[in-house]
Structure 1
Amino acid sequence: MHQIEKGFSFDEYRYGRGKGALRNIAELSVRLKQSDVNWRENPVYQDAILALGEYQRRHLEAKQDITFMTDLFDDEMNADISRSAMNEYPSIELFKTGKLDNADVPFRELIERRHAIRSYSEQPVTREELEEAITLSLRTPSVCNRQPARVRIFTDTKQISNALKIQGGFGGYDIPPALILVTADLQAFMGSNERNEGYVDGGLFSMSLLYALESCGLAACPLNTMFSQETDMKTRALLHVPENEVFIMYISVGHFRETSRICRSQRFGLDRILMN
């Protein structure tokens, strides 16, 4: 669903984008109906219908053929999508003016303000700005205070472009002014029983960094580094990452635009997350 939603945040909407995602949604919707008798009330289904309705509405308004979409779904779901297409999509738009006091707001408000931003202003990001956010992240906890997180900053446009081309998940957006790579140094650990701890500690550090970037007034988006062996090797060669470090994530960084369109990214409620 996220791929469909992400398309709504592009500066120029791309008709026909996300056909693979639509096929996946169609397959999963069949499984949902088989496993949940109240599938229409399922929040995941309802959120999907909202996005699919917006997808259909945009294509119909542009007089685009949508049979590639409607052929995927049964009559019930197509009816729900068509009804949703008649309503205004609850998209989210952020304003730069709403970020000016980020350094001073309570943490409870800061976490509500943070969203993944993929398009940035043309203003360069300085190393000093990035180091300020990284410094705020140094208090992140780690097992036995091992502190395995390692951070690399990239501001060269060509290098960032090459890295993201290998990563493969940032298509449709301009190259960000800065790119951060977070890794975890496995040399900080002592045995095979700690083989996954680098990912835990690196993830904790990365979340601290995302909040720190928001606090420092910088827009950011975490980007996955779940690489195949080939992609892993290419990235290591390009960015000079040694074998003793594992990839945690990229974070694209820039200054906020005056306005930014973002993915709705509906969150589950406490009733779905809390298990007792």
Structure 2
Amino acid sequence: MNRSSIKGVIRSVIGARGVKTLKSTYNYIILRRVYRKDRVKYQKYSTVFNHNSFEKVECEVTLHYHGIEKGFLHEKIRPYFAKDRVISLLKILSDKIIDEHQWQRCHFQAATANLCNYFDWHKANGYVLDYFSQEQYDQLKAHLITPLSSIKERSREEYFTRTKSPFFDFAKSRSSVREFSEALVPHDVLEDVINLANTAPSVCNRQGVSVVIVEDKVKIQQILDIQKGLAGYTSISQLAVIKSNRSYFYSTGERNQLYIDGGIYLMNLLYAFHYYGIAACTAHWGLLNDADSKMEDLLGLSPAEQVICIVSFGYPKETVRSTLSLRRKANENLTFI
């Protein structure tokens, strides 16, 4: 008896309602099993619980140096900013796990450049660092292949000169911008942005991603207070909330597809903003359930919807400043089999 025949016999015995109940029970068991495996893998391999691999060291290095380079974005740089991050980063980089080949990798070069720039800025402005010695600076400098600035500074016109260029130049010209002018992006322009972003692919073209544009300053601040990643930036007058709807996914295997589709859409949205001469900066939503609940209440979202990311956006100021945020070369993340 083949599989189809067996299904027919079962259906004749328990009926359509029984088959539906059986399928639901089976899917429930499988869902519990796969989520348990997801949890075990995340617990074992993420940087949450231990730091026992080179990749986890690289993760920590990136978190710390990015916090330092963001400090250079402010027009008035605060002396001794990101002190704890500097101390932590110096400790990590003194570890013997890092060999000469690894020092050449993108994240370690960026970390080294930012630390050297940090030391140079404080020395040039007459501040003494009792937690960062000249000897440590000299050792770091020896690993630096090319001096790199922590920030990129351009005029508004220069920043947008390649928005209509071939994709190779267009993609490389976009970066995260956190400061905006007072001019709001009109709604008709935002409709054009979303229409362009909607060209993003999705599983079976289900298009389960949608966007909420928040312009209420009180709600914007409440959202930023929940997210906590854009503290200190006061020029944000428009915010995009990207969300995926779980109702568009039908199998246990698609349990994470909302994040995949949401991530693809997010990148397309950032390119769409850039194409229309609008600056933007993503703020991740890797938060816990209580943050999701607060956002549901604040924006009236359905429990079926999951916030993927928030994006601050607007027309930039005359001078556009963004972090170095050095990118990997293909030899770091490409394998041929």
TM-score, normalisation: structure 1: 0.89
Q: Which of 315, 318, 321 matches 1:261?
A: 321
Following superposition, the deviation at residue 108 of structure 1 comes to 2.0
Which residue in the other structure is 2:207 paired with? 147
Partner of 1:65: 128
What value does the CA root-mean-square deviation take over the aligned residues?
2.2
Query: Is 1:273–2:333 an aligned residue pair?
Result: yes
* 1:1-276 alignment runs, 5 A limit: 1-31=65-95, 33-70=96-133, 75=135, 77-81=136-140, 89=149, 91-99=151-159, 104-276=164-336
Deviates more, 1:220-229 or 1:39-48: 39-48
Shift of 1:69: 3.5
Give the match for residue 38 of structure 2: none
- Alignment partners' CA distance in 2, 1:62 and 1:103: 37
**What is the letter of the counterpart of residue 78 of structure 1?**
Y
Output the CA distance in 2 between the equivalents of 1:148 and 1:127: 22
Q: Separation in 1 of the partners of 2:178 and 2:225?
A: 15
For residues 25 and 90 of structure 1, do their structure 2 counterparts lie closer, same or farther at Cα, with a shift above 3 Å needed?
closer
Deviant stretches of 4+, over 6 Å: none
Conserved? CA contact 1:125–1:177, under 8 Å: no
Instruction: Assess if the C-alpha contact under 8 Å between 1:102 and 1:214 holds in 2.
Output: no
Contact 2:280 2:312 in 1 (8 A): yes
- Listed as ranges, the gaps of 5+ residues in structure 2 are 1-64
2:320 is paired with a residue whose SS is strand
* 1:176–1:252 contact (8 Å) kept in structure 2: yes
Q: TM-score, normalised by structure 2?
A: 0.74
Structure-2 separation of matches of 1:66 and 1:44: 24
- Per-residue CA distance 1:131-166 (angstroms, 9 max, x = gap): 211110111111111111011001122211111111
Displacement of 1:7: 1.0
C-alpha change, 1:210 and 1:188, in structure 2 (3 Å) is same
CA–CA distance in structure 1, aligned partners of residues 193 and 152 of structure 2: 26
Q: CA deviation at 1:228?
A: 1.9
Q: C-alpha distance in 1, partners of 2:105/2:130?
A: 26
Q: With CA pairs under 8 Å and 6+ residues apart, which has the higher RCO, 1 or 2? A: 1
CA distance in 2, matches of 1:243, 1:272: 39
Instruction: Give the whole-Å Cα distance in 1 for the aligned partners of 2:132 and 2:150.
Output: 21
Deviation at 1:10?
1.3
Q: Aligned to 1:242, what secondary structure does the other structure show?
A: coil
Task: Please state how far the C-alpha of 1:98 moved relative to its aligned partner.
Answer: 2.2
Name the count of aligned residue pairs. Answer: 269
SS in 2 for 1:243: coil
Indicate the percent of aligned positions where both proteins have the same amino acid.
28
Q: Distance in 1 between matches of 2:213 and 2:184?
A: 13
- Local SS of the residue matching 1:152: strand
Q: What whole-Å deviation, never above 9, does each CA across 1:141-199 have from its counterpart, x for those lacking one?
A: 11111111011001122211111111100012223121000010000011221100000
State the SS of the aligned residue for 1:92: strand
CA distance in 2, matches of 1:27, 1:240: 45
Q: CA deviation at 1:15?
A: 2.0
> Distance in 1 between the 2:288 and 2:183 partners?
34
Shift, 1:273, TM fit: 1.6
Q: 1:69 to 1:237 in 2, by over 3 A?
A: farther
Pair 61,154 (structure 1): closer, same or farther in 2 beyond 3 Å: same
Structure 1 position 91, deviation (Å): 3.6
